[in-house]
Amino acid sequence: MEWLVYSVGKDARAATRRDWFHTVALAVRDRVVDRWMDTTRSYYHEDAKRVYYLSLEFLIGRLLTNSLSNLGIMDECRQALDRLGLSMEDVVDAEPDAALGNGGLGRLAACFLDSMASQGLPGYGYGIRYEFGLFEQRFENGWQVEYPEQWLQFGNPWEFARPEVLYPVQFYGRVEEFRDSVGERAYRWVDADRVLAMAYDTPVVGYGGETINTLRLWSARATRDFNFGHFNDGAYMKAVEQKILSENLSRVLYPNDATETGKELRLKQEYFFTSASLQDILRRYLQHHTSFDNLPNKAAIQLNDTHPAIGIAELMRLLVDQHALRWDNAWEITRATFAYTNHTLLPEALEAWPVRMIERVLPRHMQIIYEINAKFLNRTKAKAAGDNARLSRLSLIDERGERRVRMGNLAFLGSHHVNGVSALHTDLMKQTVFHDFHEEFPDRINNKTNGITPRRWLKQANPALSELITTRIGQGWISDLSQISALSEKAEDVVFREEFRRAKRKNKKRLAAYIARQTGEEVLVDSIFDVQVKRMHEYKRQLLNVLHTIALYNEMRDNPTVSWVPVTKIFAGKAAPSYHMAKLIIKLINDVAKVVNHDPSVHDNLKVVLLPNYNVTAAEIIIPAADLSEQISTAGMEASGTGNMKLALNGALTIGTLDGANVEIREHVGADNIFIFGMTADEVNDLRASGGFNPREVIASNPSLKRALDMISTGAFSPDDRNRYHPIVQALTDGGDHFLVTADFADYCRAQDAAMQLYRDQEEWTRKAILNTANMGWFSSDRTVNEYAEEIWDVHPVHPNHDGEGFR
């Protein structure tokens, strides 16, 4: 109440739900601050080695439930709100979803923050405080329309602005050569534009509240001198214009999840946050040290994909130009400090900045990249006698067409470890994009299979199942998910199965209500909730699922007397705004839904829903309610997947290809408890290499596929525009079906049938669902982060000294 009046400035009669959210958040924040300071102080006093996770994306979602749950004060808070006549759910729902990320890569960063804090690891997140997160998706006439996502509109109670933590970041200008004090050639970057990076800190509450780490996000501010210069000239409006332009740097998150845009502003964002973070890291290091030789023993910097890879050139610049280190010494330190995680093999997602752009925007960095490249190629040349093709593949510069800097090669060369995110993905990295580098540095690539935090994705999102689990095996699983294996034997217990089903049913009711609110569609709680939630992308093959939906619809109409297992197909996901094919697939799903859902001849046995604006908050409602988890990417194309892990942990059975982490999920849950179908990555590779794949033949030999495609192409779902889906049909036929949708269709339908048959036997289905939950312990991000800590970072837990004061 005190916070409502004094911090929010309202009295109880005038307070809105949002005011109450801010009130509660500020009260919670107060409980965090002392422990946060203690944590930071302990790291400082112990001069602990820290890990810095540099990521252009942190998909955190809401923080209120997370903070209350990790602090263990959920019940206390609920009771306090009760006494005020307020519902916890209403207050929680007033929080905007912090969507500073696109998909898996951004959410992984958020799970890692939770896991580092929960295990007492000195880990910092560094990123950008985007004013606009990932766009809000709405459907208008079934088409995706994007709206700005204004998460900061009403203020953000979790963040602390640090106006005194301010670093200059430069762009453009030119490089001057001069002789340093000992007569050596040296360089300085002059006549550059300057922007300031200002810090905003968000506490990251570990489970149990012992460790509170920091997520530091940078916001762009115009420099003062810049403004005053123009002001004195009387060019006031021009100064203001410049100020707005430079502050655009942190305005908006780029909404692509798998294609690099090549836009200059994006390159500037990458450099902006990387430079500010490195300056901050060096400042912290220099509080305790005078020489840089120990930097790799005190700081591990993890690059979340190549987005911060320019940091390798930046650290070289800081060490060589600003701190006067010798090149070789600086390179040794740089390499020993950085490590790089690769998240994709898709060629269109591999960053390659035009040399001319880097030359213009970051002239000194371009020189440094050339120097790194020349030294590396010279050394390699000596060994690779005359193999020029190999040398050009190893080069940091792609000379084919417009010259470009290959950021993946730079990240590889500047790191001591390079990792993939699932066993299969790591193998494919060695065979494909990094084949030559792997030969050159056979010990550098290693695997770190992704994980998810059980706090958010089981404890918070699924209270019904969490409480059931805790009644049987205690609460140790929350901080040590391997303990969840103790549930295995409960799969044979008929009473437990009944309770497990009851929890699932409760979640399905909650989702059904959400679906009704969002789409107006009523779905059967006893139908199979068949869920595909992820970004819309051709390689993820939502189209395969749609084709099966249409085939099933036809079968149901053809055989109305059969007693069908009712199915609800649930889709959700955003398409990148410029990805026309993905947006057309969204429209197709909405069109199919319109036809199927209003056809009385299927007797409600089939419903199709596409939920708008998929984000972390929606995922927390959808995932606990799923029966079947769709993980159906073309084998070899999904690096890992993490939604697959969230769904299986919540007791959904997976229908999937042997792609990404599905391979390891099968090993853990057992081949009997997962529906695997389709080609393997090797088969895909061979088929594509043979050039002999003809989708027309496959379609001609499969009547149900042919009929579904014919319906799409003749306008059965688009009577208002019969040609609407021509591009889709084209891609699947004459286009050569690059993602092999038609090739996997028959086996996918076989697996779907097997799932539907199994669902008739509720006891057997529940047994398998329990075995999924019980065997997913290894996929905790605690395990993943520990592997990074031990095998890459060499960082260790620190136990903060709280002086026995406890919570205040």
Among 546, 575, 639, 679, binds ligand NBY (CB under 6 A): 639
**Contact assessment for residue 641 and residue 660, using Cβ atoms and an 8 Å cutoff:** yes
Is residue 796 annotated as part of the catalytic site, yes or no? no
| Closer residue to ligand NBY, CB minimum distance, 64 or 303 | 303
With binding defined as CB under 6 A, does residue 421 bind ligand NBY? Answer: yes
The torsion angle over the Cα atoms of residues 706, 711, 713 and 717, rounded to 10 degrees, is -150
Closest approach, Cβ 403 to ligand NBY, in A, equals 20
Assess 173 for contact with ligand NBY (CB under 6 A). no
**Least distance (Å) between residue 17 CB and ligand NBY:** 32
Instruction: Please give the torsion angle defined by the CA atoms of residues 189, 194, 196 and 197, in that order, rounded to the nearest 10 degrees.
Output: -60
Minimum CB separation from ligand NBY for residue 110, in Å? 11
Residue 640 makes contact with ligand NBY by CB under 6 A = yes
Burial 191-217 (b: 16+ CB within 10 A, else e): ebeebbbbbbbbbbbbbebbbbbbbbb
| Part of the chain binding ligand NBY (CB under 6 A), chosen from 160-168, 254-262, 395-403, 601-609 | 254-262
Closer to ligand NBY by CB, 242 or 629: give it: 629
Which residue is catalytic, options 107, 298, 455, 535? 535
309 contacts ligand NBY (rule: CB under 6 A): no
Among positive and negative, which fits the CA dihedral 18, 198, 315, 399? positive
Shortest separation between residue 305's beta carbon and ligand NBY, angstroms: 7
579 is an interface residue for ligand NBY by CB under 6 A: no
Task: Quote the tokens at residue 410.
Answer: 């730079």
777 counts as binding ligand NBY under rule CB under 6 A? no
Region binding ligand NBY by CB under 6 A among candidate stretches 92-100, 596-604, 637-645, 705-713:
637-645
Q: Does 642 bind ligand NBY (CB under 6 A)?
A: yes
Judged by CB under 6 A, does residue 104 bind ligand NBY?
Answer: yes
Q: How far is the CB of 572 from ligand NBY (least distance, A)?
A: 16
Residues 6+ apart with CB under 8 A from 633: 539, 540, 541, 641, 657, 659, 660
Is residue 301 within a helix (H) or strand (E), and if so which, with residue range? strand 299-304
Partner residues linked to 418 by β-bridges: 340, 445
Q: Which residues fall within 8 angstroms of residue 322, CB to CB, at 6 or more apart?
A: none
288 part of the active site = no
- Helices marked H in 691-780: 695-700, 703-714, 726-732, 741-760, 762-774
Which is catalytic among the residues 364, 540, 587, 668?
540
Taking the complex as a whole, the smallest distance from the CB of residue 102 to ligand NBY amounts, in Å, to 4
Which single residue is written with the structure tokens 């929890």? 503
Please, what is the minimum distance in Å from the beta carbon of residue 387 to ligand NBY? 31
Q: At a CB cut-off of 8 Å and minimum separation 6, what does 357 contact?
A: 264, 267
Question: Could you give the string, one character per residue 652-671, with x where binding to ligand NBY holds by CB under 6 A and - elsewhere?
Answer: --------x-----------
- Whether 259 and 103 have beta carbons less than 8 Å apart is answered as no
CA dist 539 and 131 (Å) reads 30
Helix residue spans in 72-167 (DSSP H): 74-83, 88-93, 104-118
What backbone torsions phi and psi does residue 214 show, to the nearest 5 degrees? -125, 135
User: Is 217 or 749 the residue whose CB approaches ligand NBY more closely?
Assistant: 217
- Give the nearest distance from C-beta 745 to ligand NBY in angstroms: 23
Annotated active-site residue 317? The verdict is no
φ, ψ for residue 344, nearest 5 deg: -160, 150
Stretch that binds ligand NBY, among 100-108, 216-224, 378-386, 688-696 (CB under 6 A): 100-108
Q: Which is nearer to ligand NBY, 103 or 566 (CB)?
A: 103
Number of residues that bind ligand NBY (CB under 6 A): 21
* Cβ distance to ligand NBY smaller for residue 94 or 647: 647
Query: Does residue 19 belong to the site contacting ligand NBY (CB under 6 A)?
Result: no
23 among known catalytic residues: no
Contact predicate 222/251, CB 8 Å: no
Q: Which residue is nearest to ligand NBY (CB)?
A: 104
Task: Give least dist CB 466 to ligand NBY, A.
Answer: 24
49 is catalytic: no
* Site for ligand NBY contains 308 (CB under 6 A): no
Of 216, 268, 298, 343, which one is the catalytic site residue?
Answer: 343
**Sole residue written with tokens 């620190």:** 798
Q: Work out whether 638 is an interface residue with ligand NBY (CB under 6 A).
A: yes
What minimum distance in Å lies between the beta carbon of 89 and ligand NBY? 30
Please report whether residue 349 would count as binding ligand NBY according to CB under 6 A. yes
| Phi, psi (rounded to 5 degrees) for 527 | -80, 165
> Least CB distance from residue 343 to ligand NBY, whole Å?
4
Residue 343 makes contact with ligand NBY by CB under 6 A = yes
Residue 446: half-sphere exposure toward Cβ, Cα within 13 Å = 15
Task: Please say which residue, 270 or 321, places its beta carbon nearer to ligand NBY.
Answer: 270
**b/e string for 603-639 if b means 16 or more Cβ within 10 A?**
eebbbbbbbbbbbbbbbbbbbbbbbbbbbbbbbbbbb
Torsions phi, psi for 343 (to 5 deg): -115, 0
Question: Which C-beta is closer to ligand NBY: that of 317 or that of 343?
Answer: 343
Q: Is 304 in the site for ligand NBY (CB under 6 A)?
A: no
| Catalytic entry in 646, 666, 668, 767 | 646
Length of the chain: 808
Regarding 303 and contact with ligand NBY (CB under 6 A), the answer is no
Shortest reach from residue 349's CB to ligand NBY, in Å: 5
What CA dihedral angle connects 19, 21, 23 and 24, to 10 degrees? 160
Of 25, 28, 60, 108, the residue at the interface with ligand NBY (CB under 6 A) is 108
Catalytic residue among 223, 617, 642, 784: 642
Q: Which of 50, 534, 569, 607 is catalytic?
A: 534
257 binds ligand NBY (CB under 6 A): yes
For residue 271, the 8-state DSSP code is H
Helix axes 310-317, 327-337, angle to 10 degrees: 140
* Contacts of ligand NBY in 546-565 (CB under 6 A): none
Q: Binding to ligand NBY by residue 408, rule CB under 6 A?
A: no
Closest CA to 641 of 737, 743, 744, 532: 532
Q: Is residue 646 flagged as an active site residue? A: yes
Strands 445-447 and 528-533: unpaired
Distance CA(592)–CA(594), nearest Å, equals 5
Tokens for 165, please give them. Answer: 């933590």
Question: Looking at 28, 64, 68, 105, which residue binds ligand NBY (CB under 6 A)?
Answer: 105
| Burial class, 251, CB count within 10 angstroms (exposed 0-12 / middle 13-18 / buried 19+) | middle
Among the listed residues 23, 214, 344, 673, the single contact to ligand NBY using CB under 6 A: 344
Residue 277 in contact with ligand NBY, rule: CB under 6 A: no
362 binds ligand NBY (CB under 6 A): no
The token pair that represents 589 in the structure block: 């799903």
By beta-carbon proximity to ligand NBY, the closer residue of 309 and 362 is 309
- Alpha-carbon distance of 646 to 457, in angstroms, equals 6
CA gap 285, 171 in Å, rounded: 25
Per CB under 6 A, the segment of 32-40, 234-242, 503-511, 635-643 that binds ligand NBY is 635-643
Q: Binder to ligand NBY among 144, 256, 419, 634 (CB under 6 A)? A: 256
Q: How far is CA 344 from CA 421, 428, 539, 641, in A?
A: 9, 10, 12, 11
By C-beta, is 8 or 428 nearer to ligand NBY? 428
- What is the contact surface with ligand NBY in residues (CB under 6 A)? 102-105, 108, 254, 256-258, 260, 343-344, 349, 421, 450, 638-642, 660
Active-site amino acid positions: 343, 534-535, 540, 642, 646
